Structure 1
Amino acid sequence: MNSGFKIVRRSPEWTGTWGKQMKSVCFKTLKNNQKLNHFPGTFQIGRKDRLWKNLYNLMTKFGKKEFGFIPRTYVLPQDNKALRAAWEKSSGKARWIIKPPASARGSGIKVIHKRTQIPKKVPLIVQKYISNPYLINGSKFDLRLYVLVTSFNPLRIYLYDNGLVRFASVKYSDDMNTLADRYMHLTNYSINKFSTQYTQNEDAEACQGHKWTVKTLWSYLEGSVNVDALWESLTELVIKTMIGGESPISQLTWANLPSKYCSYELFGVDVLLDENLKPWLLEVNISPSLHSASPLDLAVKGPMVQNIMNIAGYHIPNKLTASQQAETLQKLGLEASADLCYDSRLYVMGLSPEEKNKHNHFIHLDDRDVYLESILSDLTPDDVRHLIQYEDELTQIGKFEKIFPTPDTHYYQQFFDTPRYYNMLFDAWETKYHKDRSAGVQLLESLCRQKIHLDISNIESRKSLVS
């Protein structure tokens, strides 16, 4: 509303909506100029069973050193036999945490140490419990990180510089007899707020109560912990988690979105630190709560929401009359020939035969040095469209940090199930222009003045594309 938009309840003329995830095929009902806060298929990382399956496949291929940041998980009932073997191997001394595969806010979660405590014939996640958490003031805690993805292919990830630290309201004990105490072993705010020992924290900068900001945590740890190295390990965890769902999400996006304009997504990534400060991924929320019940919540989420809306880049609907557009352009001090409104040509999904040939050529190159040298030498209209969307986003990121792509993220390309042309393009762009973005922007501006980015002639059906 502060940006001049109006909330509507029922209307086919809406430009954007913030709501729950919906089935992938429902995205086909969107108009080209309508934007949703989800991508098709993000349940691939938002559901605990799919998250485990996707990351376990990568762990099997690349090893625990790269992808061993999620606790060993068993999906019941299909993993019953494997769980029984693991249980017997631990001689009943291990602790496990059981979770419904698609729940949120701590619903149905509990810590157990007996197999008889597992409900029968119910879909469940049984996960190895991290029993050596890093403690502050004797209590365990987790981190809620906020991750914005504006595209999966090419992959573009932004990590917010602040987040929430949620403490258990009862001091931690590893005694087996305490496992039933949800206020001790679970860190969910929606659970602990009902504890008689829960203390509200109204001050975003205070190290008090059972909820802090991530920035406050860094201040508390400074001097005793290498905070920069810890942030780097959290960044790596986030990137690899998103890569875990990249392939199926890209496929469903390609099949169901009418336009590249239509989607972006905010994820809530929950992480636990063990006593060695190793981050463990607990879960990924595809509809993280943005309720601001306290000044602390508002201090984190208020600026974040503003940044998200700016990065998402909502366009003015193509509904202005010629006189209205001329009047608005004059007020903004823009040329009378400028076009303020949404232009579907900027987000077209197909490729021309020439663009398709360029994609096919580069995805079969094994040598990074070769594509760094040549992929930017003759930018196609499709290349230009992607790059101007990217550079536009970077002018609006505010307190978000771009973590993919960067000049160093080419390391992660080995983990994608197939080479991605756009990731190569962005890798080359970052390598060449990250120290002087203005030079890259000037190049794009010169191409746009020639209207190259609006050339959609000879576009082929996206169904025939390879990359």
Structure 2
Amino acid sequence: MLKFDISNVKGSEKTLLKMIIEKQNWIDCGEQHSKAKIVWNQRKQDKCSKYSINRPRLQISNKIKGIATISQKASTKQCLSTFALFYPEINEIYPETYIYPQDRNLLYSKNLNLFIAKPSNGSEGKGIFFPNSMNDLVKKAGLEQLVIQKYIDNPMLLDNKKFDLRFYILIHKLNPYICYLNKEGLVRICVDAYEKNNKNQFAHLTNYAINCENSNYVPCSNDFINDNQSNKQSFSAFRQTLQKNGQDDQILFQNIENLIAQFMKAIYPFILYHSKSDKSEQSQNFCIIGLDIILNSEGQPFILEMNSSPSLQITQYKNNKEEISPFDFYVKELVVTDAILIATNKKEWNDTSYKLLSDEYQLVNNSVLELLNLFWYCGKGMKTLSCSQFCKISNFSGMLNDNLQRVEYQILFCKFQVQRINFYQFLELIIAIQKRMNIQLHNLLEMIRI
């Protein structure tokens, strides 16, 4: 019987967990923290509770280190942009994106009327605006870091209204890397009809926290599997709507699954890097992340952002009164319960609401991951190595250093030794060396492959 420490959780999320624990006949350990099998965290960081220092070795947490860092909008963009140096096709899954003020000079050449600005650490739609010009952007940004993203101005519409999709992904393990996509999700629909040139927030921003403030907001009914009239619907109901309209929901879901698999592949090396450890197999932790996806008018999906701590709120305001939302409970109970059952080996994934992101997507078969291993390898003990020693130690199994010029090793060595570059800078350096040597990237990677 599973035992839980949920002492670090508050509000509606704690209500959800208590309801799940009671329904499954599991046990809330209360103050007996050491007896818990699962320590549930509400925070983004894996700080667990104040008892985490003495946490028993076999306890499991619902947070994986490194996830919170890359889920910040600016960090997600950096991960994908860096990955795109090696796999340019990744640019097709994410709108054109810049970071302010870092990319300020690049933004001067852009028509900012086509972009949307979001605070890098923002949530619930707070602080989002449509810049009219660079001066407008600078004035509104102040000292805050912003993500400036090309606006998808030809979105697929439901009843002439813009919507987006929230999907939940379970990262079961990091080594081996195993991810699952929950087949249910949320469809969040704007209250007002979409007008391309009218920047009314109720017509352009799909966030629940914004739209629920509108008196015309319609909460989901208790028939949430079939309800296609509300402003927040189930993905199951959305698929039924597509079928009724003569559209192929199977193809659309497959395209979304492919998109998510590509995204999960791209972020994996950076999760490992930010976890500050190349021994991720020691971690038993799992993590539920949220991905927000939008479809254009042709049904092509794009990932808008990632959330390492997706809201597990199950309450809604109805007639100025807060109450449990049966719809939110349905979706989030499914997501959380089945994630726990998979993470604790109580059920096989095919007996749950999750779908395995299978090996055919080759989630970890990429050169960026190999370069992370090289980065770790070269980064060990650099303070005591001379440049000549570094050249020698680089000649480990599979590395044909005779095909590299000594100057290339000197550059690598100086970057590590003097500037202490990070992994992102290291990958940019690899690209620079490839261009200077004027050889195909895959040939260079063959030379330095571990």
Shared fold (TM-score greater than 0.5)? yes
Residue 119 of structure 2 contacts residue 128 of structure 2 at CA under 8 Å; is this kept in 1? yes
Whether 1:413 aligns to 2:365 is yes
**Counterpart for residue 423 of structure 2:** none
Percent identity of paired positions between Structure 1 and Structure 2? 24
Question: How many Å apart are 1:235 and its aligned residue?
Answer: 1.0
Change (3 A) 1:242 1:30: farther
**Counterpart for residue 99 of structure 2:** 75
AA at the equivalent of 2:96: R
Structure in which a larger fraction of residues adopt strand: 2
Which deviates more, 189-198 or 24-33?
A: 24-33
Change (3 A) 1:84 1:7: farther
Unaligned runs of 5+ in 2: 1-20, 316-324, 374-448
Q: Deviations over 1:248-305 (max 9, x none)?
A: 3224447298973531000111001011111111111111112223222222222222
Residue 161 of structure 2 contacts residue 191 of structure 2 at CA under 8 Å; is this kept in 1? yes
Which deviates more, 191-200 or 42-51?
A: 42-51
Backbone CA RMSD of aligned residues: 2.9
AA at the equivalent of 1:298: F
**Counterpart for residue 108 of structure 2:** 84
Structure ranking higher on relative contact order (CA contacts 8 Å, 6+ apart): 1
Residue 180 of structure 2 contacts residue 355 of structure 2 at CA under 8 Å; is this kept in 1? yes
Q: Distance in 1 between matches of 2:193 and 2:95?
A: 23
**Counterpart for residue 21 of structure 1:** 44
Find 2:122's aligned residue among 83, 93, 103: 103
Question: How many Å apart are 1:188 and its aligned residue?
Answer: 0.5
Alignment of 1:175-254 (within 5 A): 175=197, 178-179=198-199, 181-202=200-221, 203-204=223-224, 205-222=226-243, 224-253=246-275
Equivalent residue of 1:99, what SS?
A: strand
Aligned residue pair count: 335
**Counterpart for residue 56 of structure 1:** 81
Residue 28 of structure 1 contacts residue 257 of structure 1 at CA under 8 Å; is this kept in 2? no
Whether 1:299 aligns to 2:330 is yes
TM-score calculated relative to the size of structure 1: 0.66
Question: How many Å apart are 1:23 and its aligned residue?
Answer: 5.9
Q: Distance in 2 between matches of 1:154 and 1:278?
A: 30
Question: How many Å apart are 1:134 and its aligned residue?
Answer: 0.6
**Counterpart for residue 36 of structure 1:** 61
Q: Deviations over 1:16-38 (max 9, x none)?
A: 22221226899876431221111
Which deviates more, 72-81 or 255-264?
A: 255-264
Change (3 A) 1:397 1:415: farther
Change (3 A) 1:417 1:258: closer
Residue 111 of structure 1 contacts residue 129 of structure 1 at CA under 8 Å; is this kept in 2? no
Question: How many Å apart are 1:53 and its aligned residue?
Answer: 0.9
Whether 1:167 aligns to 2:189 is yes
Question: How many Å apart are 1:245 and its aligned residue?
Answer: 2.0
Q: Distance in 2 between matches of 1:67 and 1:185?
A: 23
AA at the equivalent of 1:21: K
Q: Distance in 2 between matches of 1:33 and 1:182?
A: 47
Question: How many Å apart are 1:142 and its aligned residue?
Answer: 0.2
Change (3 A) 1:251 1:201: same
Alignment of 1:135-150 (within 5 A): 135-150=157-172
AA at the equivalent of 1:208: Q
**Counterpart for residue 321 of structure 2:** none
**Counterpart for residue 349 of structure 1:** none
Residue 30 of structure 1 contacts residue 258 of structure 1 at CA under 8 Å; is this kept in 2? no
Question: How many Å apart are 1:9 and its aligned residue?
Answer: 4.8
Equivalent residue of 2:148, what SS?
A: strand
Residue 40 of structure 1 contacts residue 256 of structure 1 at CA under 8 Å; is this kept in 2? no
AA at the equivalent of 1:22: Q
Q: Deviations over 1:25-55 (max 9, x none)?
A: 9987643122111111113431111111111
**Counterpart for residue 6 of structure 2:** none
Which deviates more, 136-145 or 77-86?
A: 77-86
Equivalent residue of 2:159, what SS?
A: coil
Q: Deviations over 1:92-116 (max 9, x none)?
A: 6x32111111121112112233323
**Counterpart for residue 368 of structure 1:** none
Q: Distance in 1 between matches of 2:287 and 2:189?
A: 26
**Counterpart for residue 356 of structure 2:** 402
AA at the equivalent of 2:85: T
Change (3 A) 1:244 1:74: same
Residue 16 of structure 1 contacts residue 34 of structure 1 at CA under 8 Å; is this kept in 2? yes
Q: Distance in 2 between matches of 1:16 and 1:124?
A: 36
Residue 256 of structure 2 contacts residue 301 of structure 2 at CA under 8 Å; is this kept in 1? yes
Find 1:151's aligned residue among 173, 183, 195: 173
Residue 413 of structure 1 contacts residue 419 of structure 1 at CA under 8 Å; is this kept in 2? no
Q: Distance in 2 between matches of 1:185 and 1:268?
A: 20
Question: How many Å apart are 1:174 and its aligned residue?
Answer: 0.8
